[in-house]
Structure 1
C-alpha cells in the first residue's frame, strides 16, 4: 500500500506533537510560592486559580528554564520559613530585598522596583510628619519592610495597624477605620484609581525612596540553590531585554516598573 505525501506529512506532524508532549511531561516541576492576596500582583480568582503579574512572570520564567510551574499559596508572614522548609522552591511574591531577608534566602536580580507612599481620604488634612501622624491610625501589611520603618522614622506617637493582606487593609481603609495607609505605590495607585480616584483618596506627602525601606523587588530561593538562581537571573535579564517583561507589566500597570 502506497503512502501519500499528505499521509507522510500527517505522520510527521503527529510524531512532532508526541515529541513535544513528551518533552513537556519531562520538564521537571518547580514549586512556586505566592501569597495570593496582593492584587494585581497576585490573587486567587473565582475558580481558585492564582493569577496576576507575579504569576505571569513566574510562568514565563518556568517556560524559559524548561520547568513546569506548580503554584503554592502561602500567607505572607510565613513565606520565608515555607521556602526554607521546602514547601516550595521559588518565591515569586513581590518581596522587597532587604539585608535581613538576604541573610535567610538567596535573591535574584531585581525583577521590578517599587516605592512607598502614604494615602488618606481626600481632604482629610493628614500630614506625613511626626507631628501630623500623632494620634492617627495607619494601616500597613504585616511582615513588610513598612512595618518597622514607619516608627523608626516617625516615632511611636501614632498607631500602626498591621493586616495579614492588603485586601484586609483596603477594606478597613474604605470603611473609614483608618486615617491613612502606607504601602507600595504600585499597590495603592491602582486601588485608588478603581475606588473613586482623586475625588475619594489622595497621596499624602512625597513618595518614599529610602534605602532602609528598600525598593528592589526580587525572587527568592533557598541559600544553597545557586544554580537555580543563576538560571532565573539569566531568564529575567532576557525577558527585560526582549520586551517580554514590559509587555506583561503593561497588562496590569499604566506606569513602568523598571
Structure 2
C-alpha cells in the first residue's frame, strides 16, 4: 500500500466504505490493484484504535498494510462497531474482518478464518521473593494462584493445577492487588495485562515466574482474519501474505512497536 493511500484511509477510516463503493463503480481497467474492504473496530488499543485526529492506528492497522503490500492489493478499512461485525461480513458490507477476532469453534460455524496472525501467551507472576523458573503443577502445589473468573486461564488451572489453591477474581487487576499484599503466591493470566502491571509502580513488587509450561500446554488464544466461507481464494492470499511477512522480518518489526514479547 502506498504512503498516500495509507494516509487517506487512516484519516477517513469511518467513511472508507463509501470511498470503496465509489471505486468499485469504476471500470476494471481504471483500478491498478484489487480493492479489499476490511472491517476494523478502531476501539481496542494497541491492536486498533482511532487517535485524537480520528486516524486509525495500531498493530493490526500496520500489519494490514504490510499484508496488502505483500498481496499487491489495496486494502480499504471500514470502521465498524464490534456488535454486528460478523453480520456485516456475511451481508457483504466488506470482504474481511481484521479486528482481534478470536478463532473459536462457535465462530467457525459461521465464517472462515485465516491462519492465526497473533496469539496471546499466558504467564505466572509472583513476588520477587519467589524464585522464577519452575511453574509446573508440581512446583506450584499448595500455592495460592489467582486468575480471572470464567476465563481460559481458570479452565487451565482447574484442569491441571489440582493441588494448588485457585482463587477467582472478576478482573485480573483484583488478583494483582491481592498478590501485592501477600494474599496470593502467584497470578496466572494474559501476558499483555500482567506485563503492563509489572511495568507499573505497584508492579515493582513482582516478576515473571515463567510462561505456562509446555507440558501441560496452555491452549493459546489465537486470532485470525475473518472471511466468508466461500472466499477461499482470498483466504489463501491472506495466508500466503502472513507467511511472507513473518518470514522476511516485517512482522517482528511491526510487533516490536507495540509489544515487548513475541505474539506469533
Shorter-chain TM-score: what band? 0.5 to 0.7
Cα pair distance change 1:82/1:203, threshold 3 Å: farther
Any gaps of 5 or more consecutive residues in structure 2? Answer: 9-18, 24-33
1:154 to 158, 161, 168: 161
2:125 to 95, 115, 119: 119
- The normalised TM-score by structure 1 is 0.61
Once the two structures are superposed, the pairs formed by residues 166-185 of structure 1 within 5 Å of their partners are 169-170=172-173, 172=174, 176=178, 179=184, 181-185=187-191
Q: Give the equivalent residue in structure 1 for 2:29.
A: none
Please tell me whether residue 109 in structure 1 is matched to residue 118 in structure 2: no
1:219 to 222, 225, 249: 225
Cα pair distance change 1:132/1:84, threshold 3 Å: farther
Contact 1:146 1:213 in 2 (8 A): no
2:43 to 13, 17, 36: 36
Larger Rg: 1
Q: Deviations over 1:205-225 (max 9, x none)?
A: 543445561365432223333
The alignment partner of 1:109 has SS state of: coil
Any gaps of 5 or more consecutive residues in structure 1? Answer: 1-16, 164-168
Q: Give the equivalent residue in structure 2 for 1:51.
A: 57
The alignment of Structure 1 onto Structure 2 pairs a total of residues equal to 225
Please tell me whether residue 138 in structure 1 is matched to residue 147 in structure 2: yes
1:237 to 238, 243, 254: 243
Q: CA deviation at 1:119?
A: 2.6
1:67 to 69, 75, 90: 75
Partner Cα separation in structure 1 for residue 244 and residue 161 of structure 2: 41
Contact 1:62 1:68 in 2 (8 A): no
Q: CA deviation at 1:44?
A: 4.9
Q: Deviations over 1:206-255 (max 9, x none)?
A: 43445561365432223333232122112222322333222211212344
Cα pair distance change 1:230/1:190, threshold 3 Å: same
Partner Cα separation in structure 2 for residue 154 and residue 101 of structure 1: 29
Please tell me whether residue 203 in structure 1 is matched to residue 208 in structure 2: yes
Q: Give the equivalent residue in structure 2 for 1:4.
A: none
Contact 1:35 1:74 in 2 (8 A): no
Q: Which moved more, 1:54-63 or 1:208-217?
A: 208-217
